[in-house]
Amino acid sequence: MTTAAAALSGVADRLADAGCESAGVDAEIMLAHVLQTTRSGLRADGRRELDANTLAELDRLAARRERREPLAYVLGEWGFRRLTLNVDARVLVPRAETEIVVERCLALIDGVAAPRVLDVGTGSGAIALAIADEAPGAEVTAMDVSRDALDVARENASRTGLTVELVHGDLFLGLPAGPWDLVVSNPPYVGPDEIETLEPEVRDWEPRAALVGEGATEAVARGAVPVLRPGGALVLESAEGDAGRVSDLLRTLGYIEVGIAKDLSGRDRTVEGVTTLAD
Ligand SMILES: C[S@@+](CC[C@H](N)C(=O)[O-])C[C@H]1O[C@@H](n2cnc3c(N)ncnc32)[C@H](O)[C@@H]1O
């Protein structure tokens, strides 16, 4: 018989050999997923003996992770703010830094009755669904150019029981009429040359169209101006080191009250601005 501790140690060694950065934590998360418990639950019972089915399932997950498939895809789900969302290779894995984007959106619509919110490039639906969850009066529309991504977002709306309108389109084309109180986007912002320098989990597994999008930030910032109500807000996630440039872009486009929020690692990451009020 194999104990949980022994199985974890074996999987952690395999993942470390494959170059996974957080091999021990990943091993724990996978076994906790298989046993439907928590990591602390596992640690409290390291001498627990695992049956053959559990070991086989753990081995199956470990083999996927060894190929540097993102842990979220291996598990098939990932946590984002208060939600657990279906996640697979059709969508970007929702990132911790994007939780701050939602934080800023909630602050900007606070006090607005039934705010109309548009999430451009929704992917798994993470931002749109988190806003629908945490601002229950909001009317949220989520759009994406990828029909595969919209299928995942639809699964997640169903999984969470939240209502968001899902629209297929290319940026602002084909959308329901504005005006919007808030436009939010985590646009593709990885440079075409930069992609090859990224970790295999990102480079080899996540959808290219979700990562690489030259000019997408500019296109969203520009396209949001005519569809936002006067005094409406734009919130954008930006690449590490790019928040200053994006702030300047927003000012050039006429946004006021331009500000930057830091991500959980203290890096400038989220940029926001407000359209001017009508005369
Ligand atoms: C960086 S991902 C963000 C996904 C999700 N919002 C999140 O934060 O996890 C960018 C998303 O934008 C979508 N996208 C790329 N180009 C687009 C376009 N021209 N119009 C609409 N969506 C687009 C991609 O399909 C992808 O789902």
Dihedral over alpha carbons 226, 230, 235, 239 (to 10 degrees): 50
Residue 279 has pLDDT above 60, yes or no: no
Structure tokens at 49: 């003996």
Protein residues with CB under 6 Å of any ligand 1 atom: 92, 94, 98, 121-124, 126-127, 143-146, 149, 170-171, 186-188, 209-210, 213, 216
Instruction: Name the class of domain 88-274.
Output: alpha beta
Q: What share of the chain in percent tops pLDDT 90? A: 90
* Calpha distance 165→214 (Å, rounded): 27
Residue 277 has pLDDT above 80, yes or no: no
* Calpha distance 145→210 (Å, rounded): 10
Identify the three-state secondary structure at position 11. helix
**What type of residue is 68?**
R
Mutate to test the pocket of ligand 1, among 83, 144, 151 (most ligand atoms within 8 A of CB): 144
* Calpha distance 93→33 (Å, rounded): 17
Identify the three-state secondary structure at position 261. strand
- pLDDT band at 50; cut points 50, 70, 90: very high
Look over the chain and give the mean of its residue pLDDT values, rounded to a whole number.
95
Q: Which residue has the higher pLDDT, 141 or 279?
A: 141
- pLDDT band at 45; cut points 50, 70, 90: confident
Average pLDDT over residues 159-163: 98
DSSP label at 227?
G
Domain parsing of the chain, residue ranges? 2-67, 88-274
Residue 158 makes CB contacts below 8 A (sequence gap 6+) with: none
The reply to whether CATH 1.10.10.60 applies to domain 2-67 is no
**Nearest Cα to 83, choosing from 126, 120, 119, 40?**
126
Average pLDDT over residues 237-262: 96
Whole-angstrom CA distances from 78 to 27, 68, 127, 257, 258 are 16, 16, 13, 34, 32
Most confident of 28-32, 43-47, 169-173: 28-32
C-alpha 44 – ligand 1 centre gap (Å):
41
Mutate to test the pocket of ligand 1, among 145, 172, 189, 220 (most ligand atoms within 8 A of CB): 145
Average pLDDT over residues 166-175: 91
